[in-house]
A and B are shown apart, each in its own frame.
Chain A
Amino acid sequence: MATTVNKATYNKAVNTSPFYAVQLRKFATYGLVTMFAVLFLLVYLSPLANMFMVAIRSQEQLSQTADSSIFPMGAKKYEYKGKQLPIFKVEIDGVTRELAQVSATRRSSVFIDPANPEAGEITWEGNWRTLEPVQVMEAHFENFAEAWELINFPRLMGNTLFIAVTGMIGTLLSCICVAYAFARFPIPGKNLMFIILLGTIILPGQVTLIPTYAFFASIKWTGTWLPLIVPHFFANAYNVFLLRQYFLTLPRELDEAAMIDGAGPFRILLNVIIPQSWAAIISVGVFHFVWSWNDFFGPLIYLLGQKELQPVSVGIQVFNFQYGQRPDLIQATSLMAMAIPVIIFFLAQRVFMRGVVITGVEK
């Protein structure tokens, strides 16, 4: 430590330029790396900009060509004597002005200056079709309202919320119990069972798909929400793993103290384990909610043709296959479907990302 201080003082006292050159290079590196990261991020997220700009276009703006502006543009208008007048770039006496066209013939046009209407009407000689119209950004937010109505978004959202929240309750109840068993009880064969549990993470779902579907069909559960909810009451590997890892970090002394005070295992779980584990429990809840919101395959096969019961994911897909000619509405529904999970992520990003790290790194 002492030597570095000496070196710095030495540099400052004798020759300042190397010291500042080093600092400068450091700042330049900071600037370059950060600038690269931001640029990269902008490109990475640019599909979102594309989505938004398509979502707010009118039909006419959608037919604009590839070299048109990336923003939805429309002709600039000026209201004069109760009429919407188009604005053109007009050159008068060598000065280009933006004027609103009041009336026109092939040879001449009458304009008015929107910046100074009191000056009266201006007559301009020449064919107005040679003039360049003035463009301004013209967003059509009404597309969102139209899409909202057409797909009956409140109903889709209600369905999704019901499926996600009931499934979340099931996941929490079952995974907490199972994780508690794995973390605290001396069950014979526990390690083997834990390995089997982890193995199910990499088991492709297809291999159980058809019998499970046939089973639900035979008990008349297809066409209802039950196949999307009930299986979550039987725990799943990711969330059990996350909760078990968390429970293992809690001191056993508290359990033992509660046991000596006469608490049974349920009481210990409720009064000792759960109150210490809210961070992990919340992240499991958020995981399941987001997973369920995004789930597509389950609702696709179990709710086939049941328009009234479909959640957002399947609902917007069915809609978009019908409205393939309305890219504006397709992008509007895509934005609506992603809004809730993305907002939840921003609100809970700390717990969420820590949960991902625990399940992903600690294997």
Chain B
Amino acid sequence: MTTSTATSANIGPESRLTILQRQRRWGWVFLSPWIFGFFVFTFFPMIASFVFSFTNFRIGEPIQLLSDNPACVAEFGSLRCLFGNWEKMFTDPVTSNALGVTLRFMLIAAPISILFPLGMASLLNSKFLLGKPILRVLFYMPFMVPAISGVFIWQSYLNGQTGYLNRILRLLGITEPPNWLFDSAYMHTAFVLIGLWGVGNAMLTMLASMQGVPTELYEAARVDGATGPVVFWKITLPMISPVILYNLVLSLVGLMQYFIVPYVMSNTTRSDPSANFINLHLYRTGFAFGDMGFASAQAWLIFIVALAFTVGIFATSRRWVYYASGG
């Protein structure tokens, strides 16, 4: 270690390596924590959960492939038994309902998770806004509130009688505002409202991206006589589209894993099927009922759906995402 590279070129076994080879070795050394972690905590568990999805795995009990169950095989044949957990996801009404609930919720929540921060970022980017630095910090702040606190805070805020939201609505002349969390028809809307506190990162990245748009583009548009909305539609949006793409992917993958809000709300929404999201259902299947084989199949379903969304978005991104490098 102490000998310098210049003089050690011809001495000792270590020095027979070229500088490049030595650099490579050190590279692997520094990379090793991630490589080890990737295999132990990501790659092998992923494969294992796929294998588990064909078993009756429960913690503390001997693990058995579903096709090793003679009673089942006698009735349905070994192949159908092997895919028993996968079949159950679509035949079990509670599970297929949970997937449906999640996808329907995504349909409203995903667009809002982009449009709301986009609106906030445009407001904060306005040249007519005074006190931008402090407003930016305050608009971002709710993102720092722990999800668990956030849910309890909103639970009280959305209270049908005394919650501030319904007080505001009554002030605006709506005499009978909804009882958000106890009415199935309004529950998803309430969940979307709670989600509005989680858009801080999307807002901040969109804002930074808007500030990075070269001013020449705006000047050129003005010279050509373009007005505000046209400039926004033709210049700002295309220029920030890579950030929108990134946030949309994160939002969709995040919504497939929607958990804390419905879990904590389950003290009031306990048996309402429209509050049973797929990830909450997975938690109940695997950890409350201990059926880890079936839960693994659900996990892979979440993964496949999330992957399909990601691939779909990237596949269409050529049409609506602008990359400055022309790639």
Contacts and interface: CB of A to CB of B under 8 A. Distances in A.
Interface of A: 29-30, 32-34, 36-38, 40-41, 43-51, 54, 64-66, 68, 70, 173-174, 177-178, 180-182, 184-188, 190, 193, 196-197, 200-215, 217, 231, 233-235, 240, 259-262, 264-265, 290, 293-294, 296-297, 301, 304, 312-313, 316-317, 320-321, 324, 327, 330-331, 333-335, 337-338, 341-342, 344-346, 349, 353, 356-357, 360-361, 363
Interface string B123-140: 110101111000111111
Contacts of B138: 41, 45
Nearest to A178: B34
| 10 tightest A-B CB contacts, nearest first | A234-B37, A185-B27, A360-B205, A181-B30, A211-B48, A208-B45, A262-B4, A211-B45, A187-B27, A181-B31
B300 interface: yes
Contact of B49 (A187, A208, A353, A361): A208
Contact of B34 (A40, A197, A262, A338): A197
B27 A186 contact: yes
B110 to A, nearest CB: 14
Given A231-B41, A335-B149, A207 B26 contact: no
B282 A360 contact: no
Contacts of A206: 257, 279, 282, 298-299, 302-303
14 contacts: A47-B153, A64-B162, A70-B164, A173-B33, A185-B30, A207-B303, A208-B42, A209-B45, A240-B34, A293-B146, A327-B156, A337-B146, A353-B136, A360-B205
A233 B32 CA distance: 11
B162 A66 contact: yes
Question: Interface on chain B toward A: helix, strand, loop, or mixed SS?
Answer: helix
B259 interface: yes
B125 to A, nearest CB: 11
Given A34-B130, A187-B28, A331-B152, A296 B147 contact: yes
B145 interface: yes
A220 B311 CA distance: 38
A38 B135 CA distance: 8
Contacts of B130: 30, 34
Contacts of B208: 357, 360-361
- With most chain B CB atoms within 10 A of its CB, the pick from A37, A41, A213 is A37
Contacts of B129: 30, 33-34, 37
Interface stretch (B68-76, B91-99, B248-256): B248-256
A37 B203 CA distance: 14
B9 interface: no
A239 to B, nearest CB: 11
Given A34-B130, A178-B31, A356-B204, A208 B41 contact: yes
B106 to A, nearest CB: 13
Given A185-B30, A361-B243, A33 B139 contact: no
B249 A202 contact: yes
B303 A202 contact: no
B2 interface: yes
Contacts of A324: 267
Given A187-B28, A294-B146, A353-B204, A235 B33 contact: yes
B167 interface: yes
B157 A360 contact: no
A260 B128 contact: no
A214 B59 contact: yes
Given A43-B168, A345-B141, A360-B204, 4 more contacts: A50-B163, A181-B31, A210-B52, A346-B141
Interface of B: 1-6, 20, 23-24, 26-31, 33-38, 40-42, 44-46, 48-49, 52, 57, 59, 123-124, 126, 128-131, 135-142, 144-150, 152-157, 161-168, 170, 196-197, 201, 204-205, 208-209, 212, 242-243, 246-247, 249-250, 253, 256-257, 259-260, 264, 267, 279, 282-283, 286-287, 292, 295-296, 298-300, 302-303, 306, 310
Contact of A342 (B45, B145, B242): B145
B200 to A, nearest CB: 8
Contacts of B4: 260-262
Given A51-B156, A186-B27, A356-B201, A207 B163 contact: no
Contacts of B253: 202, 204
A181 to B, nearest CB: 4
Given A185-B27, A345-B144, A207 B49 contact: yes
B37 A235 contact: yes
A95 B216 CA distance: 70
Contacts of A331: 152-153, 156
- With most chain B CB atoms within 10 A of its CB, the pick from A29, A47, A48, A202 is A47
B296 A210 contact: yes
A207 B46 contact: yes
B198 to A, nearest CB: 11
B192 to A, nearest CB: 14
A290 B180 CA distance: 30
A17 B157 CA distance: 50
Contact of B20 (A36, A64, A186, A316): A186
Given A43-B168, A186-B23, A360 B246 contact: yes
Contact of A330 (B152, B163, B212): B152
A32 B130 CA distance: 10
A214 B135 contact: no
Contacts of B52: 210-211
A212 B41 contact: yes
Nearest to A240: B34
Given A33-B128, A341-B144, A264 B1 contact: yes
Contacts of B154: 47
A40 B208 CA distance: 21
Nearest to B170: A66
- With most chain A CB atoms within 10 A of its CB, the pick from B137, B148, B157 is B148
A239 B36 CA distance: 17
Given A49-B164, A346-B137, A334 B31 contact: no
A8 B67 CA distance: 87
Contact of B24 (A185, A207, A217, A345): A185
